[in-house]
Amino acid sequence: MTEPATGPAAAPITFVGGKGGVGKTTLAAAHALALADAGHRVLVVSTDPAHSLGDALEAPLKDEPVQVAPNLWAAEPDADAAVRRRIAQVAEDARKAVPREVLPAVRRHLEQAGASPGMAESALADLLVDRMEEVGRRWDALVVDSAPTGHLLRLLNLPTLLTPWIVGLTRQRERARRAEAFADVVGDSAEEDDPLTERLHARRHRLERAAERLRRDAVVRLVTLPRRMVLAETARAVEQLTGAGFRLAPVVVNQIPPEAAAGPDTAEALAATRERFAALGTVEVPLQDAEPTGPDRLRSLAALLVPR
Ligand SMILES: Nc1ncnc2c1ncn2[C@@H]1O[C@H](COP(=O)(O)OP(=O)(O)OP(=O)(O)O)[C@@H](O)[C@H]1O
Ligand SMILES: [Mg+2]
């Protein structure tokens, strides 16, 4: 509970979560900037297709990381491009694994799947795993703006979700190879390496490592507001995430109005929030007069990110 928000003891991977509009992007940017100012090489990425991270940092961002301050890089990954890469990869896997006559149906299915939220989420997961693997090499710390609780929970489960898919494809592949071996009287094709199966296993191992890493090296920093409804949702997220094995940073209570301006509902919600998250600790951030964008205002905000 007393772990500093930004010291070297801070986790290498931080996911900033919370309900819409609470201040996730702003606080992710502020936290990343504070880590960078403390001498860590930091990458902050946004997973939000609306991409307001660039607005918060007042810097133009793109798919690949660009440096936005000393020690700080930021990226707004192109989700559509990630989906296209993901589909191309699945199509390639299918091409090797399923009988040729089924391929047109597989392609049609993939085209439809391309528009589904599931595919976008899977593409985004791949992208996050790529970035996570760079932590410790290219970056000391990774800050992820805005990962919905459901996505985080599924990230831990991806290796398991992938298992039936791998087993199915491996079986198909073995069947196809046996058929080839029968057809081929010389019969040495079955002795060849099977790159597809190897690739699938590699993919599962990679996701397993990522899930392990998430449990070990990641914290989720939930942002909430002094409002009862937001408190209820934050409390559910805390339960689900801790239940799944995520570590949680102290909860950030953002946009707290000055005492004189706060009505009784706000005061009551604030007291309830402090009490509810006493074990995790809370960090309280006052409502600022000016919208906290740009490095200077974000730095002032970051100075407040110390657990109470
Ligand atoms: N402490 C604060 N004081 C004043 N304004 C704030 C504060 N924190 C955030 N804001 C402002 O509130 C608005 C919402 O913040 P932000 O975009 O960071 O929220 P978000 O949780 O990322 O939203 P979304 O769910 O839409 O991605 C922005 O205009 C931001 O500048
Ligand atoms: Mg946002």
Q: Is 20 helix (H, G, I), strand (E, B) or coil?
A: coil
The answer to whether 47 and 20 are in contact (CB under 8 A) is no
Candidate from 10-19, 24-33, 35-44, 145-154 with smallest mean pLDDT: 145-154
| Atom number, ligand 1, closest to the C-alpha of residue 22 | 21
User: What's the confidence (pLDDT) of residue 151?
Assistant: 83
Could you tell me the pLDDT band of residue 257, with boundaries at 50, 70 and 90? very high
Token pair, residue 266, equals 């706000």
Interatomic CA distance for residues 302 and 30, integer angstroms: 5
| Atom number, ligand 1, closest to the C-alpha of residue 255 | 1
For residue 62, pLDDT over 50 is answered with yes
Taking the CA of 148 as reference, the closest ligand is 1
Q: What is the per-residue pLDDT across 67-84, written as a single tens digit (0 to 9) for each? A: 999 999 999 988 888 888
Of the chain, the percentage scoring pLDDT greater than 90 comes to: 51
What's the length of the chain?
Answer: 308
Q: What is the per-residue pLDDT across 270-294, written as a single tens digit (0 to 9) for each? A: 999 999 999 999 999 999 999 999 9
Go through the domains of the chain in sequence order and give each one's CATH number.
13-302 (3.40.50.300)
User: Does the CB atom of residue 258 touch ligand 1 within 6 A?
Assistant: no
The answer to whether 53 and 44 are in contact (CB under 8 A) is yes
For residue 30, pLDDT over 90 is answered with yes
| Atom number, ligand 1, closest to the C-alpha of residue 27 | 18
Residue with the bigger pLDDT between 227 and 165: it is: 227
Mutate to test the pocket of ligand 1, among 26, 251, 304 (most ligand atoms within 8 A of CB): 26
For residue 64, pLDDT over 90 is answered with yes
Residue with tokens 């694994």: 97
Q: For residues 103-130, give the mean pLDDT.
A: 81
User: What's the confidence (pLDDT) of residue 9?
Assistant: 42
Taking the CA of 76 as reference, the closest ligand is 2
| 127-132 LR contacts (CB < 8 Å, sep 24+) | 127/77, 127/82, 128/45, 128/47, 128/155, 128/210, 129/206, 129/207, 129/210, 131/43, 131/45, 132/13, 132/210, 132/213, 132/214
Interatomic CA distance for residues 203 and 129, integer angstroms: 11
Token pair, residue 99, equals 């009988």
Could you tell me the pLDDT band of residue 127, with boundaries at 50, 70 and 90? confident
Smallest CA separation from ligand 1 atom 9, residue:
23
User: Does the CB atom of residue 285 touch ligand 1 within 6 A?
Assistant: yes
Candidate from 11-15, 31-35, 123-127, 301-305 with smallest mean pLDDT: 123-127
User: Does the CB atom of residue 282 touch ligand 1 within 6 A?
Assistant: no
For all residues of the chain together, what is the average pLDDT? Answer: 86
User: What's the confidence (pLDDT) of residue 289?
Assistant: 92
Could you tell me the pLDDT band of residue 152, with boundaries at 50, 70 and 90? confident
Interatomic CA distance for residues 78 and 270, integer angstroms: 37
Residue with the bigger pLDDT between 171 and 206: it is: 206
All residues at 6 or more sequence positions from 178 whose CB lies less than 8 Å from its CB, including other chains: 190
